[in-house]
Every structure is written in structure tokens, then in C-alpha cells.
Amino acid sequence: MKTTKKLVLLLMVLILPLAIFNSCSSDDDGGSGGSAPSGVLKVSIDGSSWKSLEISSSATISNSGTHLTIIATNSDGKAVSMNVFGYEGVGTYEFNGNLLSSVNTASYTETNVDLSNPLNSTTEIWSTPYEDAVLGSISISEETDTKIIGTFNFKAKNSNDDTIVNLTDGSFNLNKQVQ
């Protein structure tokens, strides 16, 4: 009996550190899942925090599982969208203008509605990639039957006035749809 207790204790001493080190290791492919609450996308836009509404945010996988589209909006007229072509699940995908095919894209949109004269409403769109360079990335850390979780960041350019917007510390925990 004493031998069994000693063996169990020895195994615990040897296995516990391995379990701790494995649970603390980072995911090389998809990184951490970020801190977005369930159903929403959150991001810092030029230093200002923004969060989408759950009802108007989703991650859709289409084209036999090879295309991921994320769309997230809020009642403030702002929206973030990202497209990953050649999607393969958990991993990191760049917004890279150097690629000749399957360019992943992202955009940030602001719509200002003039309620007194809706024809005077305006929409500004910042998109990436806008040059031959890596301008950000999206990392999928977890995909289940119902959720896609990950992080992102990107720089985007407005083609109307050449202004640049920086989206940093982005994370999402979105409901998944498959088409």
C-alpha cells in the first residue's frame, strides 16, 4: 500500500509540471482568443474603443469551407468586415497586398445618416490592403460548430482622401454560420 501511494505521489509530481506548462503555452497558429464577449467584435479604432452588437455580428463560412466572412456593426453607423480567402480553420491570415491571388481584405466603414434629409447621408470606407505590404492580420484561435473566436489588427486607407485608420487590439467571439 505504501508503495502504491509513493508511486501515485511520484506520478503527480512528474505529471503536474507538464500539465501546467502545456496549459500555459501559446497557440502558434491562432494565438489567444482575445477578450471579446460572446457574440460580439471589439476593437480600438485610432485609440477609441468600439464594440459591435450581437444581433448584427456574425462569422460566415462559405464556398465549401474555404471562405470566411466576418461582419460586425453597431447602431452608431460603424462597421468592420473581414474576408479570408483560402480559409483553413485555426491559424493566422495576413492582409497582404504582395500576394497575386487570394488577397484577404478588411474594411472599416462609418455611415452618418442625416435624418432630416436622408439623401445627405454619407458613408466613408477605409480598406486594406491598399499597397504591396502586409498591413495586418486575423488570427483564428478557435472554431467550433457554433462559434469562431480570434483576434485581428489592420491599417486601412480611405480612397477618397487618403486618410489612414488603425484598428488595433481587435478580438471577436462570433456566432458561426455555414452556407
Render pLDDT for 70-85 as a digit per residue (tens, 0 to 9): 999 999 999 999 999 9
The answer to whether 136 and 151 are in contact (CB under 8 A) is no
| Within a domain: 144 | yes
CA dihedral 139, 177, 63, 111 (to 10 degrees): -70
Domain span at residue 81 reads 30-178
- Residue 151 within a domain: yes
The answer to whether position 17 is within a domain reads no
**N residues, the chain:** 179
- pLDDT tens-digit map of 115-161: 899 899 999 999 999 999 999 999 999 999 999 999 999 999 999 99
- pTM listed for this prediction: 0.80
Contact between residue 129 and residue 97 where contact means Cβ atoms under 8 Å apart:
yes
Is 155 domain-assigned? yes
34 backbone dihedrals φ, ψ, rounded to 5°: 80, -165
The amino acid at 91? G
| Inside any domain, residue 13 | no
Structural domain contains residue 169: yes
Cα 108 from Cα 83, distance rounded (Å): 12
- Quote the number of domains for the chain: 1
Let me know if residue 154 belongs to a domain.
yes
The verdict on residue 1 lying in a domain is no
